Structure formats: structure tokens, C-alpha cells
Amino acid sequence: MEIPIKTARKLLLWKQGFRQRQVPEKQHVLEIIRKLGCVQIDTINVVERSHYMTLWSRLGPYEKRWLDELLYPDRKIFEYWAHAASLIPIEHYRYFIHTMKEIRQGLKARAEKRLKEKAWLLDRVLEEIRRNGPMGTSDFELDEKPAEKRTGWWSWSTTKMALEMLYNAGILMVSHRKNFQRYYDLTENVLASDLDLTEPAEDERIRFFLTKAFHALGVAKPSDVSSYYYQWSTPTPLKGKTFDTVLKNLVNEDIVKEVTVEGFKGPYYAPTEDFELIQKIGDDHLDCFNEVTFTSPFDNLTWSKTRTREFFNFAPKLEAYLPQNQRKYGYYNMNVLYKDQLVGRIDPKMHRNRKLLEINLLHIGKNFKSDMEFKEKLFDAFRRFMDFHNAEKITFRKIIPKTLGIKKYFD
């Protein structure tokens, strides 16, 4: 079966949760996370942290507290390494036990190497959390000196290091966050007593990560699915002979089918259950995404730069870690998605104290011809963006091309 690239793009967006707008509810936030498999967390807060933005791009004006509540008190998601630091559906926890056990085996040696003479901090951290319940790094001021003389009996960096080592080993979990600071608790205090903690065998783990990636990507090459979850986050052989064997079994069992994508070298594969969906998209019998939205540079949609160039003829640029004089599109430039195309970028900054949303750059690619429908949907996207950030004003510093007329619209 040959699939047109436009159909493959629309399928990707559908599987990623970009659909016609509905009034968002809390359950939709969880549905998106389950659909994606994981949502990447990032600390950059120039407008809003990426995990909140990934959901806004798909749902529109949802309540950010819903995402926080799903972690605590609902316990429907948890934090761990998947595609970098991520929010993951709690029912997937069992597939990460193998990772935690491997890390736990070398924990003592790692502590002695990294903490050196303070390797004893691992035991002391656990002792304090057992006694006090969930604790953040700032809570570990445990010496008995008067406050004015207090220096602490460990530095912040070693405290954080010890907490993170225990977290990586699955001994601690993130209980909740307050002002983005992690509060850690014993894993047995966080996990529900009825959660399935059966550790899957290696082939089951591989099948799980492969099928989750296929269902998040739609039509994909083996290299696409093998990189959706980071190898160092999930030490499961997602490449090589074992991978090839599991993929072959998925084909033999008719869970995925081999397909071709028009104009591209294969092989590509797609979930068998999606073939009816592919047909509907190809026949225009499905209400696919028809709006303008902005996506974070850490959004699942553009994790694979190679795939994004192939599918969208677009090259995402993460410039936050470049010197200012080397940036072309801006510190935190976000992608502009219109229907099934990535057409440009914005570089936003939120001035919270002034309730001002500043757009340092709005750049629409020269190969995209904007019409009135696009302009109206773009203006509407900026209004939604303002509402989500509680902005009362918006200002534009540089617009390319100038013919968009957006300044006049918002003045």
C-alpha cells in the first residue's frame, strides 16, 4: 500500500492529538498523555514550561492545574525518564522497572564516585523522608545550629544529586511539585496498592515501546520508532537483531503492516488498526486539524528532526542554547502549525508582571502563501495564546512578511 505524504502527515497529526477543537475537560489532558505515551518536561519558562504547552497546542485553553492534579493527588501520571524527563501514564510504570533495577545495581558505586566522602547521604536522605514524608531539596537543612549561623551539613548540589540518584533507581518518586520544585517520597508511598507491578520480559518491553511509538507516529520507519523513547532512558534494545525480530513478529501477527510513502525510501510501517483511518483521511471523510496553533521546540511532533524535514519540509531550530549572535529565529522559537503544514515560527516572551505577551519574531516561510483564512486563524491562535497566559496586551517587534497585517489587527 502506498500512502501519499499528505495523508501520512494528517495521520501523524491525528495520532498526536491534533484534532478539531472541543471544549477541553480534565479527562482530555490524560487522554493526550496516554495517546503520546509521554510528554517531555523542560525547565525553560520564558512563556510557559513545555509540558503545559504541548497540551495547549492540542487542547486549547485547558486548566493547567488539571495536569498538576493528574500527578498529585490523582496519581494518573508519574515522572521518569522516557524521552528525556517526562510525564508518563501511571499504567506504564511496570515497563520502566527494568531501567530502575539496572540503575539500582550500580547505585553504591555511583554514589561513591559522584558524592565521594558524602556517599552516606543516600541513607540519610531516605531516613529523613521516611520520618518526614515528601521533601524537596530546600527542606534538607538538618543541622541544629541557630538559623543565623546555619550553613547546612551538605550543599544543595550534593543533596539534589543524592535525591536524583535515588529517584533514577526507583527508590524515590516525585510525589508532587510546588512552584516547579520536586518533592520526593518513597516509591511505595506514591504507587497505588492495586497498580500492576509485574515486570515484563525483554521481548514484551520491546513490543510495548515499539507499538506505543507506532501508535503515536502513525506511518513510521524503524529508526523513527526506535528513537521515540530514548535508549538511555529505557535500556531496552530498540535497535539490532532483537529489535528486528520483534518488528518481524509484529508484522507476522498483523499488528503492523509494511507500507510505502509516496516519494520516500522505505520501509515504512503503520498499525494495522489504522488502515481504515488512513482510508478515511485519504477520502477526506475525517474532520482533521484545521486550525493554527504553536508548538513547543520540545513537542513530540518534532522530536525527530529528520522525520520533520521529510514529512513537513521544515527544519525545527532550538536556539535557546546558542549564543545570542548565532540565533536566527530567537531564544525560544515555537513552530507555527497550520492544518497539516509547519509554516513558520514565533519567538514569544511573557512579561507576567505587566501581563504583556511580547512576540520578538513572527516569521512565516517564503514558500507558504498566506490567505485570509490563514490570517484569521493565525489571529485567533494569538488570542488563545494570550488567554492561556493571562496576557492583557500583545506586542510584535518583528514580522516577516510585513503584509500579514497583524499589528493593525491587535492595535
What are the boundaries of each domain within the chain?
106-190, 292-410
pLDDT at 147: 38
Query: 334 Cβ partners below 8 Å, 6+ apart?
Result: 47, 53, 294, 295, 296, 297, 345, 346, 347, 348
Q: Are the beta carbons of 358 and 349 closer than 8 angstroms?
A: yes
pLDDT at 149: 39
Q: Which CATH class is domain 292-410?
A: alpha beta
Please state the length of the chain: 411
Query: 8 Cβ partners below 8 Å, 6+ apart?
Result: 218, 219, 261, 311
Distance CA 312, CA 5 (A): 9
State mean pLDDT over 187-208.
95
Query: 135 Cβ partners below 8 Å, 6+ apart?
Result: 128, 129, 183, 184, 185
pLDDT at 405: 86
Distance CA 78, CA 70 (A): 9
The answer on pLDDT for 195 being more than 90 is yes
Q: Give me the chain's average pLDDT, please.
A: 92
Distance CA 205, CA 226 (A): 13
Residue 322 is given by DSSP the state S
Q: Percent of the chain having pLDDT more than 90?
A: 84
Fold for 106-190, please state it: Arc Repressor Mutant, subunit A (1.10.10)
Distance CA 229, CA 235 (A): 10
Whether the link from the prior residue into 4 is cis, omega within 30° of 0, is no
State mean pLDDT over 253-273.
95
Tell me the pTM: 0.93
Give the DSSP H or E segment for 161: helix 156-168
Distance CA 7, CA 280 (A): 10
Alpha helices in 90-155 (DSSP H): 97-105, 107-114, 121-132
Look at 31 and 144; give whichever has higher pLDDT: 31
Strands 256-261 and 77-82: unpaired
The answer on pLDDT for 4 being more than 90 is yes
Given the C-alpha cell 535525591, which residue does it identify? 163
